[in-house]
Amino acid sequence: MTTPVRDALPDGVPPLTGDVLAIRGGRPLRGRVDVKGAKNLATKAMVATLLGDTASTLRDVPAISDVAVVRSLLEVHGVRVTEGDEPGSLTFDPSDVESAHFEEIDAHAGASRIPILFCGPLLHRLGQAFIPDLGGCRIGDRPIDFHLDALRKFGATVEKLPSGIRLSTGGTRLHGANIHLPYPSVGATEQVLLTAVRAEGVTELRNAAIEPEIMDLIAVLQKMGAIISYEPNRVILIEGVEKLRGYDHRSIFDRNEAASWASAALATDGEIFVGGAKQQEMLTFLNVFRKAGGWFDIQEDGILFRREGELKPVVVETDVHPGFMTDWQQPLVVALTQAEGRSIVHETVYENRLGFTDALVKMGADIVVHPRGLQAGPRRVPRRDLEQAAVITGPTPLRGADIVVPDLRGGYSHVIAALTAEGESKVSGVDILNRGYEKFLAKLDALGADFDVLR
């Protein structure tokens, strides 16, 4: 990379920031990246601080914009957030939580879905809440019906307004509920956990999500004084308690970022050591990675990933945990465009999470997306028919092209595709990657990627 745009950070580490990159592909990515705490745990554990009467400390918090959005939302609700006692830790003092004003909340909600998880904690603290319309990646219509149905069962009144939703307890304490999710939704499971822990009585949650980030949130809540038992076949029981205290917790590592860099090593025929990655939470990914021609070595402080010989085609269906995560498929698809033969990636969690393949086709990939999937059978999410399958035929040499990043994980794939392609690509909208990948450009730079920040 020749002409970086660098701004100084408080700690002096010059990050690379930028929204449009000129990327020259054809060079393997080699070196080490370190992943911090999981974006999809840290943001939820931050919301949980509202439930405690005393201060909490969260460690290994990634410096990403999704965290910054939740931090400012907590601050407009009166939570004092300060740097913790070690780098990457934050301390939250919720002793002065008061209701914020709509314009302040809306100004801070940003492109995030996390505000919906403020409902339970604010209802317990203030008896009311206003949640603006949600942002987040455009990978489907991402409804919140499971969330609102659950909140009503806890005894909240929910009023939909043009600009968001207003909730109230009507001056009474929320009570436990029996909730059976139509689909093991991660967000809806978190909604129930964050509400049930201080509701009066017992809550039984069936068909719950059990992702490692969910289990880590349960660990956080247990540290606060919650009583949560996890039964076989996705049943979670929560005995509500009157009070909760603060916690001190080190977040689980970010599996999605770790898997992203592993797929980048596969696609660019490089070798990347991902510091902080652990085998247990990535078992399914590692199996698919190996079948696709990857080699990995589990070490004490991380996992070394590289390609071993030729890439091989695979058939993958995304699913809830312990299946192959929907967040893992996009970076893997880039590598599959270089495999000899036909691969199939069947997306079953979101109805529009294969849109990113358009840009890969523009670069020369042979990918056909079947909007009705491989069989038109009924879906786990009864309301929508969201079968989607991409058939990838390789190997097809990728050529540089001008592309625009569509969402977080799709955008990561576009950058890796540009690094895999021959020639130069201009990739716009890269800034979105700061939502989920800490110091993304600095990491690319450290891995030897050849790029310039144009703007």
Q: Which residues bind ligand EPZ (CB under 6 A)?
A: 39-40, 113, 137, 140, 142-147, 183, 185-188, 209, 256, 325-327, 349-350, 381, 408-409, 436
Alpha helices in 197-348 (DSSP H): 212-224, 255-268, 283-291, 326-336
Integer Cα distance of 350 and 93 in angstroms: 36
Integer Cα distance of 354 and 194 in angstroms: 31
Integer Cα distance of 444 and 433 in angstroms: 12
Give the nearer residue to ligand EPZ in terms of CB position, either 260 or 343: 260
Integer Cα distance of 424 and 415 in angstroms: 11
Integer Cα distance of 350 and 406 in angstroms: 15
Give the nearer residue to ligand EPZ in terms of CB position, either 143 or 201: 143
- The one-letter amino acid code at 363 reads M
Give the nearer residue to ligand EPZ in terms of CB position, either 55 or 186: 186
Q: Tally the C-alpha atoms within 13 A of residue 148's C-alpha that lie toward its C-beta.
A: 13
Query: Among residues 402, 437, 441, 394, which one has the least CA distance to residue 418?
Result: 402
Catalytic residue among 22, 41, 74, 137: 137
Q: How far is the CB of 325 from ligand EPZ (least distance, A)?
A: 6
Q: How far is the CB of 385 from ligand EPZ (least distance, A)?
A: 12
Q: How far is the CB of 364 from ligand EPZ (least distance, A)?
A: 26
Output the CA–CA distances (angstroms, integers) from residue 149 to 156, 287, 319, 326, in the order listed: 10, 37, 23, 25
Alpha helices in 347-453 (DSSP H): 357-362, 408-420, 440-446
Q: How far is the CB of 195 from ligand EPZ (least distance, A)?
A: 14
Active site (annotated) includes residue 137: yes
How many Å from the N-terminal Cα to the C-terminal Cα in the chain?
14
Integer Cα distance of 314 and 181 in angstroms: 31
| 357 burial level (CB within 10 Å; 0-12, 13-18, 19+) | buried
Give the nearer residue to ligand EPZ in terms of CB position, either 56 or 191: 191
Give the nearer residue to ligand EPZ in terms of CB position, either 201 or 322: 322
Residue whose CB is nearest to ligand EPZ in the complex, by number:
187
Catalytic positions are 137
